[in-house]
Amino acid sequence: MTLDSPGDRAGAALAALLAASALIAPLAAYADDPAPDRGRFLERAVKVGGQRHAYRVFVPARSAGGERPPVILFLHGSGERGSDGDKPTQVGLGPHVRRHAEDFPAIVVFPQAPADTEWSDSAAIAWAALDAATAEFGGDRDRTYLTGISMGGYGTWELALAQPRRFAAIAPVCGGLVAPPQRPSLQVEAVTGEADPYTAAAQRLRDIPVWIFHGALDDVVLPEQSRRMAAALKAAGATDARYTEFPDAYHNSWDPAYATPELWQWMFAQRRH
């Protein structure tokens, strides 16, 4: 039997410490993972322009999302602007995901636009949150989707036009392209100044699968905006453009839209080419 030298003992101690650290790291990561049988919302933040912006991300149960889940970027409406990070999960897609937390299969990113801004002003926040969440949770970049409601419906068109190859499909809900009279700042900047913004947008988005939703009785963002966009996509020879108008819905067409089972079957079947 030989006695260890001081150097041997120091080396053994360092090896033991490294081994313990290697165990701690996976345990710490696992503590932040969703439960195996239920997805959950996590708090995150990104820095954009030197400012910290809180956001939420829903991470699906492993049994629902698999090893590489699809990713949905959700853009909220005007009432959810702020800096708390949580309000974007309270209206629109968030409640639907909560009701289906056991089996909703996608990572869902909920960025938040600051007070008194439009998504055209805050797109960098949305992109940063999407990139960060996709990287952290191993999202599938070829199955990344975009949807939004009201102001976020405008934002859906805005971001899709900014990076038309980023998304495998988009689903704008009660949005538009042209500013309503009561809010001149709410418009899609990418086609502002075009003689026909609907035709201009349709020409650039005709290769992306699109499903538009609107309420026929909407008096906040008139359904004529979605009707004109759907017609423009058809005229442009869009490969997969759908339009659903709910005859009894006012501005809240997001609840029936996200409760449409066919939407999710269609969306998750799309893959970026």
Residue 273: band (very low, low, confident or very high) from pLDDT cuts 50, 70, 90: confident
Structure tokens at 226: 């979605």
Give residue 183's Cα distance to chain centre.
24
Q: State the pLDDT at residue 26.
A: 31
pTM greater than 0.75 (yes/no): yes
pLDDT at 36 (0 to 100): 56
CA 93 to chain centre: 9
Count of domains observed in the chain = 1
| Tens-place pLDDT, residues 52-108 | 999 999 999 999 999 999 999 999 999 999 999 999 999 999 999 999 999 999 999
21 belongs to a structural domain: no
The CATH number of the domain holding residue 48 is 3.40.50.1820
Q: Average pLDDT, whole number, for the chain?
A: 89
C-alpha to C-alpha distances, 174 to 147, 161, 203, nearest whole angstrom: 11, 17, 21
Residue 6 lies in a domain: no
Residue 13 lies in a domain: no
User: Residues near 237 by Cβ (< 8 Å), separated by ≥ 6?
Assistant: 206
Q: Is the confidence at residue 188, as pLDDT, over 70?
A: yes
Which residue in the block uniquely carries the two structure tokens 């909920």?
A: 110
- Pull the structure tokens for residue 146: 């975009």
> What are the φ and ψ backbone dihedral angles of 24, each rounded to 5 degrees?
-65, -40
- Provide the pLDDT for residue 17: 34
Torsion over CA: 254, 258, 259, 265 (sign):
positive
Phi, psi of 106 (to 5 degrees): -110, 150
Question: Is residue 128 a part of any domain in this protein?
Answer: yes
Q: Does some domain include residue 142?
A: yes
Residue-wise DSSP of 45-65: EEEETTEEEEEEEEE--HHHH
Instruction: Note whether 35 and 100 are within 8 A (CB).
Output: no
* Residue span of the structural domain in which 175 resides: 41-269
197 with 176: CB under 8 angstroms?
no
5 assigned to some structural domain: no
